């Protein structure tokens, strides 16, 4: 009689193991790894795919494993390390780092190193040929710049520390031909962007030199000379609001997203800001998102939802493409597809529960279909109390159902009232 026994599990392809095991919690994976040799290798591939460590001792232990275990070292794709500046680093720790980086370098695509005052990149002597994403809180240094120059495969850079040395960028050009997204100090952006196909740019906070009066406009000019059209721009703490907005309106007319954070709104400065925003709206015909936060916002913008609503209606008449806005009251606004009205999105509903503009918004700015969609979304996300408030105050005891939500409520990709699916 022919045998119908199943083949042993060891004959299964590694991809099938990975497909099943990647859905298991880490604790379960550790148990699975002890059941057989083949499952141990498969579990190791999943366990070491993303390595994120925030403790010196754990980093040392993990890198010891990476040095000794080929499967673990070859599995690492994302590596994130936090190295505390106040902790003394013994020489053997740096040797472990260097050896561990050498073991994982061939396959790592994402690298994140948080070490503000230590020049960790100066001790990295190997190249990461597959590296696409780099993030770091380290100050700009010769070691970091050398690392950038030797990794032309980078497509996304985020450097959170705005402290830098003004003159080090121009010793040698930074050629990053695949760079698409950059967030970093203003001088670095000024040096990198003209030679790279960057489409999304963020300027780190406090990285503008107050004694360099032309620095902001030079950065905007450099951005305008990117090899591809820049569609997203984030500015932190601009020093000369009017000059920056004028430069954007002149040179960056393909913008789709403008994020303006920490704008100094002292008395008399609000008309300058709003006039500059209107000029940008007139010139940037693809602009669909504005995010605006302010330092010391005037009371009309801080306290009045009605004021912001009227402002958005006026902006929509200037630029119909505008769909999403975040303004200094702390509300995300989205424009509905059905009638073009502006309403706060779900993440802002909680702010409206206790906010001074709640009654005005509910009485003047919301229609029945909009309330339907809002109530459905609130209930779906657990905000039942405010959903019940809406129902009792506006619909009496009328019941509402999921199927009443309008599918094309907001021009979003995933969820009708989710600012992240709209704006990202």
**pLDDT (tens digit per residue) in 31-44:** 777 777 777 877 88
Long-range contacts (CB closer than 8 Å, 24 or more residues apart) made by 309-316: 309/333, 309/342, 309/361, 309/365, 311/274, 312/342, 313/342, 315/277, 315/278, 315/281, 315/290, 316/340, 316/342
* Per-residue pLDDT tens over the stretch 245-263: 999 998 998 999 999 888 8
- Distance between CA atoms of 13 and 228, rounded to whole angstroms? 43
The pLDDT value given to residue 266? 64
- Residue-by-residue DSSP string for 47-84: HTTEEEE--HHHHHHHHHHHHH-HHHHHH--EEEEE--
Measuring CA to CA, which residue among 168, 198, 203, 201 is closest to residue 184? 203
**Considering the chain, what is the average pLDDT of its residues?**
76
The pLDDT value given to residue 150? 92
pLDDT classification of 288: cutoffs 50, 70, 90 = very high
For residue 54, what are the CA distances in angstroms to 74, 95, 309, 332? Answer: 21, 18, 44, 33
46/99: higher pLDDT: 99
pLDDT classification of 392: cutoffs 50, 70, 90 = low
The answer to which of 131-135, 172-176, 296-300, 331-335 has the lowest mean pLDDT is 296-300
Backbone angles phi, psi at 155, to 5 degrees: -115, -20
Whether 100 has a pLDDT exceeding 70, the answer reads yes
* Per-residue pLDDT tens over the stretch 198-214: 999 998 887 777 777 77
- Distance between CA atoms of 288 and 227, rounded to whole angstroms? 22
Domain 10-47 class in CATH: mainly alpha
- Distance between CA atoms of 291 and 263, rounded to whole angstroms? 11
Backbone angles phi, psi at 103, to 5 degrees: -70, -35
Long-range contacts (CB closer than 8 Å, 24 or more residues apart) made by 306-315: 306/357, 306/360, 306/361, 306/364, 308/333, 309/333, 309/342, 309/361, 309/365, 311/274, 312/342, 313/342, 315/277, 315/278, 315/281, 315/290
pLDDT classification of 227: cutoffs 50, 70, 90 = confident
Residue 393, Cβ neighbours under 10 Å: how many? 11
The answer to which of 117-121, 130-134, 371-375 has the lowest mean pLDDT is 371-375
The pLDDT value given to residue 164? 59
Q: Taking a C-beta distance cutoff of 8 angstroms, is the pair 77, 108 a contact?
A: yes
Q: Taking a C-beta distance cutoff of 8 angstroms, is the pair 280, 258 a contact?
A: yes
Averaged pLDDT for residues 335-346? 73
Percent of the chain with pLDDT over 70: 69
Question: How many Å from the N-terminal Cα to the C-terminal Cα in the chain?
Answer: 62
Whether 387 has a pLDDT exceeding 60, the answer reads no
Kindly give the pairing relationship between strand 200-203 and strand 133-136: unpaired
pLDDT classification of 56: cutoffs 50, 70, 90 = confident
86/408: higher pLDDT: 86
Residue 34, Cβ neighbours under 10 Å: how many? 9
List the structure tokens of 171: 């010793």
For residue 394, what are the CA distances in angstroms to 59, 161, 363, 370? Answer: 57, 49, 9, 12
Averaged pLDDT for residues 114-139? 89
> Per-domain residue ranges for the chain?
10-47, 344-424
401/337: higher pLDDT: 337
Its pTM stands at: 0.76
């Amino acid at each position: 009689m022919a045998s119908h026994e199943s083949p042993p599990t060891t004959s299964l392809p590694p991809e099938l193991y990975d497909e099943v095991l990647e859905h298991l919690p880490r604790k379960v994976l550790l148990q699975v790894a002890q059941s057989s040799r083949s499952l141990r290798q498969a579990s190791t591939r999943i366990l070491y795919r993303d390595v994120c460590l925030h403790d010196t001792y754990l980093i040392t232990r993990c890198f010891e494993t990476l040095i000794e275990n080929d499967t673990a070292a070859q599995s690492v794709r994302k590596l994130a390390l936090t190295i505390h500046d106040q902790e003394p680093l013994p020489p053997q720790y740096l040797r472990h780092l260097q050896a561990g980086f050498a073991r994982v370098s061939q396959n790592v695509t994402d690298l994140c190193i948080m070490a503000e005052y230590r020049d960790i990149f100066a001790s990295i002597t190997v190249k990461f040929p597959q590296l696409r994403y780099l993030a770091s809180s380290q100050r700009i240094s010769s070691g970091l710049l050398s690392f950038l120059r030797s990794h032309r495969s980078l497509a996304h850079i985020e450097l959170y520390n705005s402290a830098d040395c003004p003159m080090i960028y121009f010793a040698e050009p930074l050629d990053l031909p695949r760079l698409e997204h950059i967030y970093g100090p203003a001088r670095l952006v000024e040096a990198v962007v003209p030679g790279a196909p960057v489409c999304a740019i963020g300027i780190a906070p406090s990285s503008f030199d107050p004694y360099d009066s032309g620095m902001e406009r030079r950065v905007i000019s450099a951005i305008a000379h990117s090899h591809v059209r820049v569609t997203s721009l984030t500015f932190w703490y601009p020093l000369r609001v009017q000059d920056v907005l004028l430069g954007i309106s002149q040179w960056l007319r393909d913008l789709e997203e403008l994020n303006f954070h920490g704008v100094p709104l002292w008395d008399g400065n609000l008309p300058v800001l709003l006039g500059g925003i209107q000029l940008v709206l007139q010139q940037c015909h693809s602009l669909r998102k504005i995010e605006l936060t302010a330092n010391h916002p005037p009371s009309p913008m801080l306290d009045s939802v009605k004021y912001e609503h009227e402002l958005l209606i006026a902006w929509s008449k200037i630029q119909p493409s505008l769909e999403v806005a975040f303004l200094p009251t702390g509300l995300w606004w989205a424009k509905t597809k059905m009638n073009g009205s502006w309403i706060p999105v779900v993440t802002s509903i909680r702010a409206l529960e206790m906010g001074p503009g709640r009654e005005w918004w509910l009485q003047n700015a919301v229609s029945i279909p909009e309330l339907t969609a809002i109530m459905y979304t609130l209930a779906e996300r657990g905000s039942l109390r405010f959903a019940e408030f809406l129902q009792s105050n506006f619909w009496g005891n009328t019941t509402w159902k999921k199927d009443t939500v309008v599918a094309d409520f907001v021009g979003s990709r995933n969820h009708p009232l989710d600012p992240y699916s709209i704006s990202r």
